[in-house]
Amino acid sequence: MRNPRLLCLTLAVAVAPVPSAWAEPEKKLIQLGWDGGTPGKMLANLERMKAGPFDGYVFKLPEVDADTEARPLPLQNLFTTEPHPAALFEPHLEDMRTLKERGLGNMTHNMVKIWCTGRDGWDWFNDDHWAAAEENWRNLVKLASVGDADIMFDPESYYTKIEPNYFWVFNHQDNPRADEKTIGEYEEVVRQRGRQFVRALAEVDPDIDILSMYGLNKTTDAVLNADSPAEADAALEAQLYYNLLPAFVAGVLEEAHDGFTFHDGNEMAYYYTSPEEFEHARERMKGPVRRALPPDAQKHFDDHYRAAQAIYASDLFPYDADDGAYRAFFRTVMPRDRQAELLAHNVYHALATADEYAWYYNDGAIDNWTGDVPAGMHEAIRRARGLLEAGEPFPPGMVAEVEAAKEAYQRQVTGDLHIATADLTSVSTPPRIDGDVDDAAWKETQRHGPMHALSSNPTDQPGEDAFVRVAADAENLYVLVEAMDDRTDHLDLRGDGRDGDVWAGDDVEVAVSDPDNADRFFLFMVNPAGTIYDAELRVDAEGELSFDTGGYDPDWQRAVEVHDDRWVVEIAIPWSAVGGRPRNDQPLRMNVARSFGDRPGPGFVSWSQTIDSFLTPAHFAELRPAGN
């Protein structure tokens, strides 16, 4: 690292092997979390924080009042249509100067958090909008510069209609120009903005670096393994999330000045539990991810790109032992001291496989700034760092311990899962797809229900039920869903056109597995307005899902009827759209869910219960022909 400071941007970049002339710097651990605060909060807790196990902390700035119905955005947010008043930064600049005068001890790598939430209507093509974002950017870089800090960049969207991850998606309906501009035109202007972004940084303080929470390592294998640039472009356009982010990163690297470094923070490491996962991510970031960028931008990787890693502390070692988990549900069956060892394991391997930075994220009640942390947390961090600094390996056995915990947890929860089984009724006369529950074909079928909340949230029971009927003939699969509701005049309707964010509101969802490929299934959604979403999904070797929406638009029928006490969805899906009709010896694996939109409760429920996600084919209902 040429500069001891880091700009913590939530972007990721891919690069080739680092030239041998580049000397590997000391490893740094940076703390980010809900507990993050202003420079004033650090002043109030300075001596305590100096004694902590981190090399730096991430500053977060307060919300700014806005003359709009939308929730106020934090001062750290870039993409506003009008710039934040410069006067709002002054108190934080003064506190940052005071911090520097008092001395930061070992906290030599603090960072200022940057958000990428676009105000509704923010437009990449609008020069006035960009000017507002650039003014915000310059003020935030100035704040970092005054405190000898760097910047942490978070590309995720918060607080707006735009769902998380969608600010960087070309074809999202909230994107103002998606219907009139091609993805190539979008990539060109976003790449230009990336160049302007780094140019503005260099004008304020060229010694600042960027740590991005994720970026190119989020790119799908379909992009990275494409056989030609045209194939890669098509795969990138079909990618559900962040398909504009590579263009921005390309611009950043093209404009990068001598000494500037961009760190890919690899947020996906939140969910790693083995050294091999960390190593694989490092290898991917050091080579293959460069293929997500235009060929003429790749020549800048070696000089300016580095790999970083992430640790999700609250998921591994929460404030209370009984706290629920986000992804690491297996952790709930591990003793408290072994949870601490799991945290140490991930800290060790994150730092070991990073070029320079690992960042440590916590949420919930944990507050590293005030010292309100669970007993043993900081000790686990220090133990991991001590082993690494001494050149000693981490004690073996954690991977096997995690696998045993996963098996124990699965036995614990799957024993209580309501996995649906049912007859698949064949009908000689298909139902008319008109939303009528009294069709003669449906009278031959069984009514299934009620539905179930996720087993990971057993107390989250729905206030409204939903019931399912299923039938089939040689051509189609037929599904009827009655969504009981006493407030059908207040349904939450989302999505403007096919493949919009239908799931964010009230909807019915049907998932159907390919009978010949357990790692492939198909998703169909309908909301009360009849707006639809469909996608082909695949599960890769690491259990990650990939979506194909734009390339999957089968011809299927649907109808919706809204009544005073329920709304009814009727669907006909051709067997050809879901991999073919199951043979006599094959079950039909499918599931049906209902989303409740913006209202209190479980969010969604499903016919066949799953643990933590509806999109879990292993827990789909099993249907066999009646009498088989």
Is 8 inside a domain boundary?
Answer: no
Return d(Cα 94, Cα 107) in angstroms, integer: 18
What pLDDT is attached to residue 460? 56
Is 20 inside a domain boundary?
Answer: no
> Tokens for 449?
């229900």
Co-location of 404 and 422 in the same domain: no
What number is the average pLDDT over the span 38-50?
A: 97
Read off the CATH number of the domain in which 141 is found: 3.20.20.80
Helix (H, G, I), strand (E, B) or coil at 133: helix
What number is the average pLDDT over the span 307-312?
A: 97
Q: How far is CA 294 from CA 5, 184, 255, in A?
A: 29, 12, 14
User: What integer best gives the mean pLDDT of the chain?
Assistant: 87
Where residue 483 falls among pLDDT bands split at 50, 70, 90? very high
Residue 625 near residue 584, CB atoms below 8 Å: yes
pLDDT > 70: percent of the chain: 89
- Under DSSP, the state recorded for 82 is S
Is 441 inside a domain boundary?
Answer: yes
Q: 459 is in which domain, residue-wise? A: 417-625
Q: What are the pLDDT digits (tens) for 322-360?
A: 777 777 888 988 999 999 999 999 999 999 999 999 999
**Angle, in degrees to the nearest 10, between helices 183-204 and 245-255:** 40
What pLDDT is attached to residue 237? 75
Co-location of 388 and 432 in the same domain: no
Domain endpoint, select from 392, 409, 426: 409
Is 133 inside a domain boundary?
Answer: yes
What pLDDT is attached to residue 263? 97
What pLDDT is attached to residue 14? 37
What pLDDT is attached to residue 459? 52
Q: What are the pLDDT digits (tens) for 285-299?
A: 998 999 889 888 999
Co-location of 309 and 430 in the same domain: no
Read off the CATH number of the domain in which 482 is found: 2.60.40.1190
pLDDT higher than threshold 80 for residue 4: no
The more confidently predicted of residues 316 and 504 is 316
Strand partners, 512: 522, 590
Is 321 inside a domain boundary?
Answer: yes
Is 17 inside a domain boundary?
Answer: no
- Quick one: CA dihedral 414, 418, 423, 425, positive or negative? negative
Return d(Cα 567, Cα 580) in angstroms, integer: 30
The single residue listed with the structure tokens 């056989």 is 227
The more confidently predicted of residues 488 and 89 is 89
Is 19 inside a domain boundary?
Answer: no
The more confidently predicted of residues 451 and 57 is 57
Opening angle at CA 254, ends 248 and 260, nearest 5:
95
Co-location of 363 and 508 in the same domain: no
What pLDDT is attached to residue 601? 58
Co-location of 206 and 291 in the same domain: yes
Co-location of 136 and 79 in the same domain: yes
Q: What are the pLDDT digits (tens) for 514-536?
A: 999 988 999 999 999 999 999 99
Domain endpoint, select from 409, 429, 464: 409
Return d(Cα 476, Cα 402) in angstroms, integer: 43
Return d(Cα 334, Cα 329) in angstroms, integer: 10
What number is the average pLDDT over the span 28-40?
A: 97
Domain endpoint, select from 345, 380, 409: 409
Q: What are the pLDDT digits (tens) for 228-267?
A: 878 887 777 776 568 889 999 999 999 999 999 999 999 9
What pLDDT is attached to residue 457? 62
> Tokens for 303?
């000089």
Co-location of 493 and 600 in the same domain: yes
- Sequence-separated (6 or more) residues with CB below 8 Å from residue 43: 95, 98, 99, 102
Q: What are the pLDDT digits (tens) for 406-415?
A: 888 877 776 6
Co-location of 116 and 236 in the same domain: yes
Where residue 573 falls among pLDDT bands split at 50, 70, 90? very high
Return d(Cα 356, Cα 7) in angstroms, integer: 13
Q: What are the pLDDT digits (tens) for 580-614?
A: 998 877 889 999 999 887 665 557 889 998 877 88
What pLDDT is attached to residue 180? 86
Return the closest-CA partner of residue 32 out of 502, 323, 366. Answer: 366
Q: What are the pLDDT digits (tens) for 375-395?
A: 999 999 999 999 999 999 999
Return d(Cα 279, Cα 282) in angstroms, integer: 5
pLDDT higher than threshold 70 for residue 226: yes
What number is the average pLDDT over the span 118-145?
A: 93
Residue 168 near residue 129, CB atoms below 8 Å: no
Is 6 inside a domain boundary?
Answer: no
Co-location of 327 and 207 in the same domain: yes
Return d(Cα 41, Cα 45) in angstroms, integer: 6
Co-location of 374 and 489 in the same domain: no
What number is the average pLDDT over the span 479-506?
A: 88
What pLDDT is attached to residue 217? 85
The more confidently predicted of residues 20 and 592 is 592
Co-location of 395 and 453 in the same domain: no
- Under DSSP, the state recorded for 180 is T
Q: What are the pLDDT digits (tens) for 403-442?
A: 999 888 877 776 677 888 998 999 999 999 999 999 999 9
φ/ψ of 593, rounded to 5, equals -130, 160
Helix (H, G, I), strand (E, B) or coil at 217: helix
Q: What are the pLDDT digits (tens) for 150-196?
A: 999 998 877 654 444 457 876 655 567 777 888 889 999 999 999 99
Q: What are the pLDDT digits (tens) for 97-118?
A: 999 999 999 999 999 999 988 7
Q: How many domains does the chain have?
A: 2
pTM, two decimals, is: 0.73
Return d(Cα 614, Cα 390) in angstroms, integer: 45
Co-location of 461 and 572 in the same domain: yes
Helix (H, G, I), strand (E, B) or coil at 472: strand
